[in-house]
Amino acid sequence: MTAFPLQVRGAFARHAADYEGQAALQRGIAWRLARLCRNLPPPPPDAPRADLGAGSGLLSRALLHHCPALGERPLQQLDLCPELLARNPLTTSGTAPLVWDLNSGLPAALEQAGLLVSSFALQWLEAPARELERWGRALAPSGWLAVAVPVRGSFPQWHQAAAAAGVPCTALELPDADDLIQALHSAGLPPALHQRLRFSRPARSGLATLRRLRDLGAGSSRKAPLSPSQLRRLLRHWPPGAPLSWDVLLLVGGRIG
């Protein structure tokens, strides 16, 4: 495992106890994606199913609410962070949770999968488009894939403040939406649905915004942290009271049986 996945795992592990209380946006996106899955044809009944990067189980719980028939065959809860999985109520019933680094592809047991879902996990991988294509290729005939992921274009307030301050923007570099859509096409899954939506989280200040990401465990970056003086310059140029905006791509695709 390379340094960045270890950094991500450590950050979420340190803040696992706070995750559910901080993850309002992630919870809302999970419920929106689950609603989009309500009218999908049922996946093959005997094919494996998994929530990739399940964490505390927000997406799987939303799916059980909107698609209760999925409860007949639970989704395996798979994540790199065992501390988050330990707080996932779905790991006490159904299939055992699996600690797994998705940068290594999918476990062999998920080949010919009937349903693969993921929310706010793909962006942490080293090559999101490549891994998404792998997920699509792993589907069985009549299998479905449903993904929500923040994409490039997010955090304009942060990027603008960094440019005005003359300091590096240390926000996580996010995948390009068009590259992800193309990855599904390359996997033979023209998206049955794709939406790109913008969401904002209000904040009192730039410092409050950065602390919220840290407290969620989502503050990891491949870039070196700012020095104290650089951080002060960044915060002086952050628009007062500006919300942090996220561009989120929702993708649903299926393999024709």
Comparing 104 with 192, which gets the higher pLDDT? Answer: 104
**Structure confidence by residue, pLDDT tens digits, 120-175:** 999 999 999 999 999 999 999 999 999 999 999 999 999 999 999 999 999 999 99
**17-154+170-202+244-254 has which CATH code?**
3.40.50.150
Output helix, strand, coil percentages for the chain, rounded to the nearest 5: 45, 20, 35
The C-alpha atoms of residue 71 and residue 49 are separated, in whole angstroms, by 11
User: At 256, is the pLDDT very low, low, confident or very high (cuts 50, 70, 90)?
Assistant: confident
- Residue among 102, 109, 45, 105 at smallest CA distance from 76: 109
Q: Are 143 and 113 in contact (CB under 8 A)?
A: yes
- Residue among 193, 181, 175 at smallest CA distance from 247: 175
- DSSP single-letter state for residue 119: E
pLDDT at 182 over 90: yes
The C-alpha atoms of residue 248 and residue 33 are separated, in whole angstroms, by 11
pLDDT value for 107: 97
Instruction: Say if strands 244-254 and 49-52 run parallel, antiparallel, or are unpaired.
Output: unpaired
Residues 212-249: b if buried by 16+ CB within 10 A, e if exposed: bbbebbbbbbeeeebeeebbebbbeebeeebebebbbb
The C-alpha atoms of residue 87 and residue 56 are separated, in whole angstroms, by 6
**Structure confidence by residue, pLDDT tens digits, 226-246:** 999 999 999 999 988 888 999
**Structure confidence by residue, pLDDT tens digits, 51-102:** 999 999 999 999 999 998 887 788 999 999 999 999 999 987 667 899 999 9
The C-alpha atoms of residue 125 and residue 130 are separated, in whole angstroms, by 10
